[in-house]
Amino acid sequence: MSLLSERQLAQYRDEGYFVTAPAFEPGELAEMIAEFDRLHAQCVRDADATGEEKRIRFARLRPFIGQAHLKSEAISRFTRAPIYLEICRNFIGPDADLYYNQVVIKPPEGGLAFGWHQDSGYGITEPLEYVTCWTAIGPAFKENGCVWVIPGSHKRGLLEHVRGPESLDAVVDDERGAIPVELEPGQIAVFSSLTLHRSGPNVSKTVRRGFVPQYHVPMVRDKATGQPHGDLFPVLRGGKPVGEAVAAGRA
């Protein structure tokens, strides 16, 4: 039985995103919260040790902790959850790799906003398009900085992105139709790497925690260099889950 509906598949094709039902048990989310807090504390300690003002600011107010699957066995297992594998089968194919994954946290009353962008704007790959799974580890709503999307924007193709003082932002002439994607714990906002999205600041008293695994074809390559790019962590082969020992060996 498929974990995704025909309506969700159609919405992804037409609007570039959809939202799943809650896909994880409370115990799974609690384990992730503990790992997030551990990794965030280490991120802050590492930033403080550098004495670099900008790095310290981001560690405290908008940390992005990449390659989290290498820093936590629990997170590594989480990247191969049944819902993610079903998403891969439908939008990547029978063979798929974890491309990137991040722990993203917005602390209460100060977590920073993030501007409009397409994930493909951060690195052009061959093939170009892949799938992002923005997963709410806790509640994500407008006041604590949930993701906003522009439905249908994936059909615009890859837009120009310019380097701003704090991020790489897409050149967006028309924000009409933008909507907030508010999520309950365990829900996933699934969107194309070409879908325009942003997030607001956290003005609430609630931590916003999200886990963002992205999936691509096996051994995806950087278009400019032709070299393999990303996490290169196999999750599906022949439509079947890749075991932990095999994945760790990059088979």
pLDDT in tens, 37-82: 999 999 999 999 999 998 888 888 878 899 999 999 999 999 999 9
Q: Residue holding tokens 């992005």?
A: 64
> What is the gyration radius of the CA atoms in the chain, in angstroms?
17
Position 16 pLDDT exceeds 80: yes
What's the CATH code, domain 16-227?
A: 2.60.120.620
Closest CA to 83 of 128, 144, 22: 22
Higher pLDDT, 154 or 250: 154
Higher pLDDT, 170 or 208: 208
pTM of this structure: 0.93
- DSSP per-residue letters across 122-153: G--EES---EEEEEESS-B-GGGT-EEE-TTG
Domain map (residue ranges) of the chain: 16-227
